[in-house]
Structure 1
Amino acid sequence: MCAHVLIAEDDKKQAEVIRQYLEHAGHTATEVYDGYAAIDEVRRRAPDLLVLDVMLPHLDGLQVCRILRHETDLPVLMLTARSTEEDLLRGLDLGADDYMTKPYSPRELMARIRTLLRRPRRPAAPDLHILRAGPLTVDPVRHEVFMSGQPIMCTPGEFTLLAVMAGQPGRVFRREQLLELTRGSDRYISCRIIDVHMGNLRKKIEPDPRRPVHLVTVFGVGYKLTDGRTGHAKSGGHASP
């Protein structure tokens, strides 16, 4: 079979070697060199397989894998110089299909790629992709948001922010982290945009935007998305960022 493979590897010489082996095997390949570009290219072209280096600049491979797993069942083969069992398990837990440590044999890499391309993609169970935090549901595939069953209209920026936070409800995100995970390839905006999105989202999903119980401010740190049962007082959440 002829497949299109995306190579996300910041070492351009290494990416070129992988591309040449893929083309020799009859496949086509595209190279990108940072995490944001990998996400953009997957969304734009929908490759058949992603060869993903963990140590990518700007957004590392583990974060890339976690974000893409909310959107696609694309097979992912991770490459890393890390060789500890903890790193390996973390990559697999985030949704990687296979994992190779550097240095590796290009022939073995191609054998792993052939195996993944032959493997049928598992059909997603109903609603498996839907993210939930209490009464809030986020559907990354259909690009829909519901609060207590009622549809919520969101801008693309607001939707991406909710999808990231709903993937890990209860986690406290710093503004800088949210900016990195949601801004895509645009590196020239400030953290203030996160505060603006939060204010707009609170008007849409909170019973009282002045006393939020879902999108909660953690003072001196950032924001977290809760199920609404913990209350603003316990988390120190008020409407002002």
Structure 2
Amino acid sequence: MSSTYSNITVLIVEDEQKIAQILVDFLSLDGFKTRVLHDGADAVDVIKSGEVDFAILDLMLPHKDGLTICKEVRQFSTIPILMLTARVEEIDRLIGLEFGADDYVCKPFSAREVVARVKTIIRRIETEPQNKESVMTYKHVQLNINRFKCYSANVEIDLTPVEFRLLHSLLKRPGVVHSRDNLMQLCYSDDRIVSARTIDSHIKNIRAKLAVDEINGELIHAIYGVGYKME
């Protein structure tokens, strides 16, 4: 049983340390890896990093509450999210998926129930039709991964394969700074020698192709001496 979930890391954002530890213990019994935060301040950044595969968010958290985290995450990720709540008045909003949560559990709860809900969500995702198109949207840019198409303000944009992979890499983790070396590794699958100037040239081309008007502004930002980020 443990090997089934050994490749899944669950982020637990829960300010009550005893509850967090109980969830860690029960998830670990089924092989899940876990990471714990006791407040909401860094939760979005951790999810953006791509280091976790599932998030359990308490509704009431110091610094940033669970609903705010969920809403922000849904702007860039479809990571499964299970909410923990003791506030009955919030349940209708959670059920209606107003904030994009996949499910919720009311406090007080059984740790076994939480683990069961996590497994159910994972199974549901795994059994969804595989031919469903994978589409990424960020501001006025949309990438259809399966069809290898890019749209800017609903206008189809012609990207080269390298430009497409480069934009895809940036879109997957908006706000995260990518070094030029990292982008070279992500965008070139072979062992060819590529200079940093080549990446700069690709970025320049992508910017020109995605440009709509001054109101939308620049999406890809250069970080001096480091690399680029999408924001």
Task: Give unpaired runs (5+ residues) of structure 2.
Answer: 142-151, 155-169, 175-205, 224-228
Aligned partner of 1:107 among 104, 112, 122: 112
1:62 has 2:67 as partner: yes
Tell me how far apart the structure 1 counterparts of residues 10 and 22 of structure 2 sit (CA, whole Å).
13
CA contact (8 A) 1:48 1:117 kept: no
Percent of pairs with identical residues? 32
- Given the superposition, is the C-alpha separation of residues 12 and 117 from structure 1 closer, same or farther in structure 2, using an over 3 Å criterion? same
RMSD, aligned CA: 3.4
- In structure 1, the gaps of 5 or more residues are 161-241
1:75 partnered with 2:80:
yes
What's the offset of the Cα at 1:11? 0.9
Residue in 2 aligned with 1:19?
Answer: 24
Partner of 1:130: 138
- The residue number in structure 2 matching 1:224 is none
SS at match of 2:55: strand
Is 1:116 matched with 2:121?
Answer: yes
Q: Tell me: CA distance 1:149–1:46, structure 2 relative to 1, closer, same or farther (3 Å).
A: farther
Contact 1:53–1:61 at 8 Å: present in 2 too?
A: yes
Structure 1 length-normalised TM: 0.55
CA distance in 1, matches of 2:134, 2:117: 29
* Kept in 1: contact 2:12–2:55 (CA 8 A): yes
Q: Partner of 1:192 in structure 2?
A: none
Structure 1, residues 42-81: CA drift from partner, whole Å, max 9, x if none? 2234312111111111111111111111222211101111
The alignment's TM-score, normalised by the length of structure 2, stands at 0.57
- SS of the equivalent of 1:116 reads helix
Partner of 1:148: 212
